Structure 1
Amino acid sequence: MTPPIHLISQGLVRERQRAGLSLAEVARRAGIAKSTLSQLESGNGNPSIETLWALCVALNIPFARLMEPESKRMQVIRRGEGPAVNAEHANYQATLLATCPPGARRDIYLLTAQPGSQRCSHPHTPGTVEHIIVTQGRALVGPEESAVELNPGDYICYPGDIPHIFRALDSDTLAVMVLELPG
């Protein structure tokens, strides 16, 4: 079992970075010493519930989020995989690729790309998630350090708040991009 301070330290770092705040700013907002926050983020110390509550208020997150392990942030679903349901009276199948978290906003784009230079995107707003479905051609897509080659019908989601790429590998590559923005 993971010790609570380990989960708390991971949660503090994750949520502070997601909020785009410095160590000093979070400490100031929570009314604690910067050194105390630094120790907690390093996995040292035994914070009181009052300190943790103050940090949650400073980060504008629910208390339980500090105790949650990091969720899987990248997902790839190949064509023909994923949870699917069939229609009773038609040759029709729906495969669930992603759900939308409460309070989020989604914008939908059709991407057209040619081989050559790749599209390098800087990090978007903290908490942004990109969903891509290749419909024609092939592309290398995802975080710069772990991009994945996708074929027609393949799906990927990844954090849009880190540097990421889209590189067409075939002429006239088409993809649908859903940009999920925090509420």
Structure 2
Amino acid sequence: MARLAAAVRTERERAGLSLSELARRADVAKSSLSTLESGQGNPGVETVWALATALGVPFAALIDPPEPERQLVRAGDGEVTWSESAEYAALVLSHSPPQVRRDIYRIDAEPGRVKRSAAHAAGTVEHVVLVNGRARVGEVDALVELGPGDYYRYPGDVPHDFEALQPGTSAVMISQQR
């Protein structure tokens, strides 16, 4: 929480935005944003995405410390961010180094509710490789069903879904900004 609070405050100030203006742009209550910046609360992945989009920074820039030259993430390790609306968890495996606009995530999802993502920053493209299970992913009006080993690239700057169709569904997702 402390990393997220400091990153949001730093990026907001760097962008020259007031608390009120960032809250308006991200469609987040000003009181919630104030609580978050003070290091309190527990925002879901949707709130962090909305803030990152409003600030024009990658999602991981708000939640991850700078990346070392070498990094090993063992299966089952790492801190995940849970969705507020679906059985969906995102673990940042690698965030964008300076001058690069891409983040790499491991996605773990269970059948049930669809994980709907709002449009990210203009020019964002998402790449998904399904590792286990089955899923329907992509733009809301152009979903594609994937099985293990399948790859799909689609625009991330429009609303898009990830729906697990089998228990234990997992994927690797790369979010890239042009």
- The TM-score, its normalising length taken from structure 2, stands at 0.44
- The TM-score, its normalising length taken from structure 1, stands at 0.43
In our comparison, the structure showing a higher alpha carbon Rg is: 1
